[in-house]
Amino acid sequence: MKASRWMRTVLMLVFLSLLGAVSNYGSQGRGKQKGKSEKEDRGNSSASEGKDKDPKTAPPEQVKLPPGQVKKQERLSQERQLQLIHEQQQRVVVYRQRLDHQQILAQQYAAQLQREKRSASYAFQQAYIARLRQQQLALQRSYDYNSDPYFYTPPTYRYARAGTYYEVNQYGADRLRQAVNSGYSEGFHSGQADRQDGWKSGYQNSYAYQDANYGYDGYYGDQDGYNYYFRQGFSRGYEDGYNSRSQYGSNSNGTSSVLGNILSTILNLQSLR
């Protein structure tokens, strides 16, 4: 009887011991799993914070100049400026001589129009001669080359003419645009005059087309280039004026100019920057 009671006590102790071991094992497993989960959460959080602070994705900081300070404009070298001024002075001398000669030819053409009784074309020719005289007078004034930005501003555009490439700055480009627009305006009125006189169409026979100098004062580019683009505008303006249309330009209150898309096609200026 005592032996049986002792055996039951031993079995009970063994059972309680095993139960405690199983409980401790489960607790340790849950602790490890919880620790692992917390570690992963901290890792993900750190990775997320690192991503937000990645310098590669952060916007670049803008460099600000001190108050009152502006970016210095790029300028040509002093040597290049002097070279351009010297070329310009020679160009003006040659242009003055040519204007003197062109005045004689212009008067001869006006006399021819009178003989042919082309009154509208004669009036246009006289007005053209008057404008050339104004240009001639303007060339007699003194000119301050050193204060003109054309002579120290680097080229900003590239364009091709007759198979040769040229570079010009903004002021030279504006002069080319002026050449086309001046040519278009003169061509438009010349075409109108020929139509009013009942004369056959032919812009090449107009003195203004052959001269192609209206609007040119000898500055901001060579004369050949100006003449070329003046004639490009003149031929289109003449066709519009002779046919009473506005295919290549617009005409309002006596002012004529080439359409923007036509002007861009003629010049085909390509930016260097």
Q: Which structural domain, as residue segments, surrounds residue 179? A: 78-271
Question: For the residues 235-242, what does the mean pLDDT come to?
Answer: 97
The answer to the question of residue 15 being in a domain is: no
The answer to the question of residue 262 being in a domain is: yes
Confidence grade of residue 133 (pLDDT, cut at 50, 70, 90): confident
The answer to the question of residue 121 being in a domain is: yes
User: How many Cβ atoms are within 10 Å of 240's Cβ, its own excluded?
Assistant: 22
Question: For the residues 226-252, what does the mean pLDDT come to?
Answer: 96
Q: How far apart are CA 17 and CA 58, in angstroms?
A: 61
Residue carrying the six token digits 């080229």: 155
Per the prediction, the chain carries an average pLDDT of 80
Question: For the residues 199-218, what does the mean pLDDT come to?
Answer: 94
Residue 234 has pLDDT above 80, yes or no: yes
Q: How high is the pLDDT of residue 164?
A: 95
Q: How high is the pLDDT of residue 89?
A: 85
Q: How high is the pLDDT of residue 90?
A: 85
Residue 152 has pLDDT above 50, yes or no: yes
| Of 182 and 140, the one with more pLDDT | 182
Mean pLDDT lowest for which of 62-66, 104-108, 151-155, 174-178? 62-66
The answer to the question of residue 38 being in a domain is: no
The answer to the question of residue 61 being in a domain is: no
Q: How high is the pLDDT of residue 75?
A: 85
The answer to the question of residue 31 being in a domain is: no
Residues making up the chain, counted from first to last? 273
What distance, in Å, lies between the first and last C-alpha atoms of the chain? 112
Q: How high is the pLDDT of residue 81?
A: 87
Q: How high is the pLDDT of residue 73?
A: 55
Q: Structure pTM?
A: 0.70
Q: In this predicted model, what pLDDT tens digit does every residue of 17-61 receive, in sequence order?
A: 555 544 544 444 444 444 444 444 444 444 444 444 444 444 444
The answer to the question of residue 46 being in a domain is: no
Residue 209 has pLDDT above 70, yes or no: yes
**Angle 170-196/223-242 helices, nearest 10 degrees?**
40
Residue 168 has pLDDT above 90, yes or no: yes
Q: How far is CA 87 from CA 1, 134, 267, in A?
A: 136, 23, 23
3-state class (DSSP) for residue 69: coil
The answer to the question of residue 149 being in a domain is: yes
Domain count for the chain: 1
